[in-house]
Amino acid sequence: MSKQAIQAHAKAIEVPYLLHFTRVANLPSIMQHGLYPISRSNEIGVAPQINDEIRLDGHPDGTSVSIGFPNSQMFYKYRMDCKDVDWTVLVLRPSVLWTKDCAFCRHNAADARISNLHIDVLKASQAFVGMFEEIEDHSPREDQKLKAFDPTDVQAEVLVFDVVEPQDIIGAVFEKAAVRDTYVAHLGDRKTYIHANNKGMFATRGYFRKYQ
């Protein structure tokens, strides 16, 4: 029943897509094999360029995706730490939420309020619904101008413990047209978008929701 409840709620709040940001150098292998959790990348003989070497969330067996907007705090940090790296934001089908083995984290998965919970609790439909409820130490959803499908905490994430196949990747956002042009052949007929620095998916969610 849990999967059906997740699907029903996702459709009720009209989740448009999921997002996963990655270094653009990873794009060819992702489009060939799909998104593999880091701990399984050896299965396809790939050594991906990764962002979080430590994985404080304790789940290298899960791929982090966001609902409706990237974790802009984390994404900005990585872009500032690695200024010579080009990035892409992959757009995934929302059905990943109920067709794959997922855990639903209303905060960053490394946050003790999440990491101290049993994984079965995080996989329940109640955990998914909880991502969109008011949180005591966060600004009210109305003040944040959030859409119904926006998690209350911008750092909320979904951990996907299965492979996300290439057919579940429906588009990609780039910061620079030249980078898009270099990699577009790997994307087939999928849609591509250019969001210049600090615009669109490369902005903060707060700014995007209030001013764009």
Catalytic residues: 55, 157
- Establish whether 63 is an annotated binding residue: no
With CA atoms as reference, report the closest residue to 13 among 89, 119, 97, 70.
97
- Return the structure tokens found at 144: 């944040």
With CA atoms as reference, report the closest residue to 6 among 109, 132, 107.
132
- Establish whether 205 is an annotated binding residue: no
Which 3 state secondary structure label does DSSP give 84? Answer: coil
Which 3 state secondary structure label does DSSP give 21? Answer: strand
- Establish whether 21 is an annotated binding residue: yes
Answer whether 101's CB lies under 8 Å from 191's CB: no
Answer whether 45's CB lies under 8 Å from 177's CB: no
What one-character DSSP code corresponds to residue 164?
A: B
**Cβ count within 10 A of residue 32:** 11
Q: Which residues are annotated as a binding site for NAD(+)?
A: 20-22, 55
Q: Which residues are annotated as a binding site?
A: 20-22, 55
